[in-house]
Amino acid sequence: MSIREQIAFLEELSSIDAEIRRVDEQLEKQQKDLSGMRSEVKVLEDRLKSDRETLTSMERTRSELVAELRQMTQQIDKSREKLGRSRNERESNAAQREIEELRKLHRDREDELERLNSAADAARLAIDEAESKRSALSADLEGSAKGITTSIGDLETERRERMDARAKIVAKLPPPLYRRYQSIRTRRPVAIAKTHDGTCLGCHLSVPPMMFQKMRRQEEFEQCPNCRRILYYVPASEADQTDPSRA
């Protein structure tokens, strides 16, 4: 196989690899978009679960406070009865102090209940807002997921087709040349570059004159001393065409 034929296969392979790279980038974006929407729904669902558990705890505490207030009211009534039955000043003072302490505790519990009611109202509002947002996001996800899933399927089909075409080109290349190509691709997305005047069109730096003269004979491939791409010579008229190393 002549070097000219190998150049044609390398350029076709580089073009296919550029298309596969484009497809992979689109696939990654589509999958990230879908994953991002699902993650946002999951975050809202976790928040709703936590907020509902907090509200349940508040309501349980509220029930306990209401029961405690009811019990305190009964104790105050009993203390008032005790005050009414006082037989001397000492018993009267003791009953009065007991009533005052119970009233203070009652007021404290009422204040605590009021704060708890306000917090519970805020929690309910937050839950309503989160549920509304989750419903809207779930509707968006349901509407978008089908389209995104279809798009991902199309991209995966396109990728398989590109990979099949790639395999056919690879089979036509000499194994050592392909191994060199693959080795360079681990460092650079585009592994080849052309030159027509001694300047590598991949990195736009000049190559040694003797190397350039050797390449002009088109007997073998060289490697750019600067960017390490596989370098080959083409006439100026061909170099004016789109160069794969610029991708």
Q: What is the CATH number of domain 20-171?
A: 1.10.287.1490
Read off the pTM: 0.61
* Phi and psi based region of residue 182 (left: phi greater than 0; alpha: psi -120 to 50; beta: remaining): alpha
- Evaluated on CA atoms 83, 86, 88, 91, the torsion sign reads negative
What is the model's pLDDT at position 151? 86
Enumerate residues 6+ apart whose C-beta is below 8 A from 134. 41, 44, 45, 48
Residue 247 pLDDT exceeds 50: no
pLDDT tens, position by position, 92-142: 999 899 999 999 999 999 999 999 999 999 999 999 999 998 888 888 777
The three-class DSSP label of residue 87 is coil
pLDDT tens, position by position, 165-214: 999 999 999 999 999 999 999 999 999 999 999 999 999 999 999 999 99
What is the model's pLDDT at position 32? 86
- What are the residue boundaries of the structural domains of the chain, listed by start? 20-171, 175-246
